[in-house]
Amino acid sequence: MMLRVLWLFAAFDAALLLDTGMLFPRESSSREVKALNGLWAFRADRSPNRNQGFERAWYKSSLAETGPVIDMPVPASYNDITQDATLRDFIGWVWYEREVTVPARWITDGLRVVLRVGSAHYYSVVWVNGVKVTEHEGGHLPFEAEIGTLLREDPTMPCRITIAVNNTLTLQTLPPGTIQYMNDRTRYPDGFFVQNINFDFFNYAGIHRPVLLYTTPKAYVDDITVVTDFLDNTGLVRYNVSVQGASSATVKVTLMDKGGHCVASSTEPSGVLKVVDVSLWWPYLMHESPGYLYSLEVTDSESIDVYALPVGIRTINVTSTQFLINNKPFYFHGVNKHEDADIRGKGLDWPLVVKDFNLIKWLGANSFRTSHYPYAEEILQMCDRHGIVVIDESPGVGIKDIRSFGNASLTHHLAVMDELVRRDKNHPSVVMWSVANEPAAEMNPAEYYFKTLITHTKALDPTRPVTYVTYSNYARDKGAPFVDVICINSYFSWYHDQGHLEVIPLQLNTQFEDWYGKYKKPIIQSEYGADAVAGLHNDPPVMFTEEYQKEVLQNYHSVFDQKRKKYVIGELIWNFADFMTTQGILRVVGNKKGIFTRQRQPKAAAFILKERYWRLANETGTLPLWTKYPCPL
């Protein structure tokens, strides 16, 4: 027991490399949250250098005074909201603005008022009443600014929030991209340029997640980190709380069970809570009541600020052949997703989120990978509650150009991992970090790049395994020696050997034997699949029909069934649903490898997978009680 506690302490010292917190804004007796979702004024800067907004300081007055504005919903991508193809494909700065009146008590009571943007793609600058309060590089992750002092300058004035967002990608951004000017005036008009990307999803842009204002007292809980373990029936919750603005560093922490009963408490800012008769956090289909969450209620010494963090008690371990959750082998039978839907693009949309969880559970899937960027925190909270296991991926997708392996790129990638781990470290559903998808891992600089990135991520969080997803040749992959789990994508009889379904078992068997033979690490088939245009049929199967997609899957499954008894620890279908991409001759109004359409209707492959996943769950897990009665979903 003592050894375990020491190990937990060690884990924390490393995690403390992260200095300030990014706790999800939650209401409590000391905190209020005000959502600024809804309609914002919007204007794209169509000037040739896209810089007029800055030159003429659009943030200094109301946006409508600078020129024509349109209504733009937040959260949503702006691309598919209008009938204008030039806005759909727009590259450069777009400007958002709205006014908000805050309750007078926020000002008179001397509270901290924080503006938080859940995510905006890609580079953002934020002003409040014409004063710049923050800027942030990168989509998919939140950023904040404290704006209380600006509000206090003139409490009678409504507060004008202006956010400029730029979706231009460079060789140093994540994902990377390049702008290419077309200078042949016989073929392209003056000023014509395109943005080249190396990833297969539409580069949606705008304010994708909620914009919130929230308050805290002046002395406030800035960050909480928990790491959990258990021994026999006793749960261990090692926690660390950081409080800002308080004279004393003492805190009160109380761990409550689901019924609201206190099961452990302490007055130290860090320590280990012991939970007798612990209810562990289990994945969906591995236990009768998955997703058990305690609540860690934290207050500063004077109980002025109160924050309640959901906590799931579970462990993760990896051996050379297994992935263990709570010391039991876990087999990933799941999906890869995208944040993607008609009209709203990548904007967070609750009906879609809940529908997707119902489909995941219907399918009997127990996990997903956040391909190819961090998803909304609201989605991870759903995973915590429903026991859906997550491989949490950074936006390191499309790193193909050797210039994207340089120092500037690596520095940014390390900073993104800091932000990702800081945001998601406390989610029990997150069981592994993926630092990238299909980088050019055979290039020489990849070795230093991935060694540094993976070592850094492990230092941030020694409690979770780290991987990246590869598509390269096993013998030439430079990063594989550093990962804990090998994740491989392959598309046999799709991107090569087209139409030859019969080669799949042989090629897949060779793939697994090669990788395991060389690295002796557990393997996840992190992508496989085939495009199928819903409603297109042919028998014998032909590419793009539902029959072909079905048979690709079945051929892969026969090999998975042999190898999962050995060292294959998971299979994630590409993709959960059809999704939008840039236009190209390989794409029929987007990528059609979904087992559901973009509107979330099943193709034939969905039924194949459903039958398989429930069978796997029956073999490897404990089905929840409700499965013994008619399915409520």
For the CB of residue 492, give the shortest distance to ligand BDP in the complex, in Å: 12
Nearer to ligand BDP, 299 or 526 (CB): 526
Is-catalytic flag, 99? no
Answer whether 523's CB lies under 8 Å from 568's CB.
yes
Position 472 contacts ligand BDP (CB under 6 A): no
CA distance 605 to 609: 6
For the CB of residue 489, give the shortest distance to ligand BDP in the complex, in Å: 5
Position 612 contacts ligand BDP (CB under 6 A): no
One residue of 393, 527, 546, 551 binding ligand BDP per CB under 6 A? 527
Position 528 contacts ligand BDP (CB under 6 A): no
Per-residue string for binding with ligand BDP, 145-184, x by CB under 6 A? ----------------------------------------
Answer whether 127's CB lies under 8 Å from 165's CB.
no
One residue of 229, 438, 461, 546 binding ligand BDP per CB under 6 A? 438
One residue of 471, 515, 567, 613 binding ligand BDP per CB under 6 A? 471
Nearer to ligand BDP, 216 or 336 (CB): 336
For the CB of residue 529, give the shortest distance to ligand BDP in the complex, in Å: 7
Nearer to ligand BDP, 113 or 580 (CB): 580
Nearer to ligand BDP, 282 or 528 (CB): 528
| Token code pair at residue 127 | 């002003």
Answer whether 387's CB lies under 8 Å from 290's CB.
yes
Nearer to ligand BDP, 197 or 205 (CB): 197
Extract the runs of DSSP E, i.e. beta strands, from 350-438.
Answer: 367-369, 389-393, 430-437
- Residue 411, classed as helix, strand or coil, is helix
For the CB of residue 576, give the shortest distance to ligand BDP in the complex, in Å: 12
Terminal C-alpha separation, the chain:
42
Q: Which of residues 488-517 bind ligand BDP (CB under 6 A)?
A: 489
For the CB of residue 396, give the shortest distance to ligand BDP in the complex, in Å: 12
Check 144, 377, 438, 527 and give the catalytic one: 438
Total H helices, total E strands in the chain = 12, 32
For the CB of residue 608, give the shortest distance to ligand BDP in the complex, in Å: 18
Position 393 contacts ligand BDP (CB under 6 A): no
For the CB of residue 479, give the shortest distance to ligand BDP in the complex, in Å: 16
Task: Return the amino acid letter for 135.
Answer: E
The Cα-based distances of 590 to 341, 370, 434, 578 in angstroms read 11, 19, 25, 7
| Token code pair at residue 98 | 């709205």
Nearer to ligand BDP, 24 or 204 (CB): 204
Q: Classify residue 23 by its DSSP letter.
A: P
Length of the chain: 633
Beta strand pairing call for 123-128 and 234-244 = unpaired
Residue with tokens 């209707």: 601
One residue of 412, 593, 603, 612 binding ligand BDP per CB under 6 A? 593
Position 106 contacts ligand BDP (CB under 6 A): no
Position 450 contacts ligand BDP (CB under 6 A): no
Return the C-alpha torsion angle 490, 494, 500, 503, nearest 10: 0
Nearer to ligand BDP, 148 or 398 (CB): 398
Q: Classify residue 429 by its DSSP letter.
A: T
Q: How many CB atoms lie within 10 A of CB 39?
A: 11
CA distance 226 to 211: 26
For the CB of residue 490, give the shortest distance to ligand BDP in the complex, in Å: 9
Per-residue string for binding with ligand BDP, 356-375, x by CB under 6 A? ----------------x---
Buried b (16+ CB within 10 A) or exposed e, 572-604: bbbbbbbbbbbeeeeeeebbbbbbbbbebebbb
One residue of 166, 366, 437, 493 binding ligand BDP per CB under 6 A? 437
Per-residue string for binding with ligand BDP, 183-222, x by CB under 6 A? -----------------x----------------------
Q: Which of residues 533-592 bind ligand BDP (CB under 6 A)?
A: 574, 591
CA distance 418 to 416: 5
Answer whether 213's CB lies under 8 Å from 115's CB.
yes
# of chain residues touching ligand BDP (CB under 6 A): 10
Residue 432 neighbours by CB under 8 Å, 6+ apart: 316, 391, 392, 464, 465, 466, 467, 484, 485
For the CB of residue 480, give the shortest distance to ligand BDP in the complex, in Å: 17
Nearer to ligand BDP, 87 or 536 (CB): 536
Nearer to ligand BDP, 412 or 592 (CB): 592
| Token code pair at residue 336 | 């890869």
Catalytic residues: 438
Interface positions with ligand BDP (CB under 6 A): 200, 372, 437-438, 471, 489, 527, 574, 591, 593
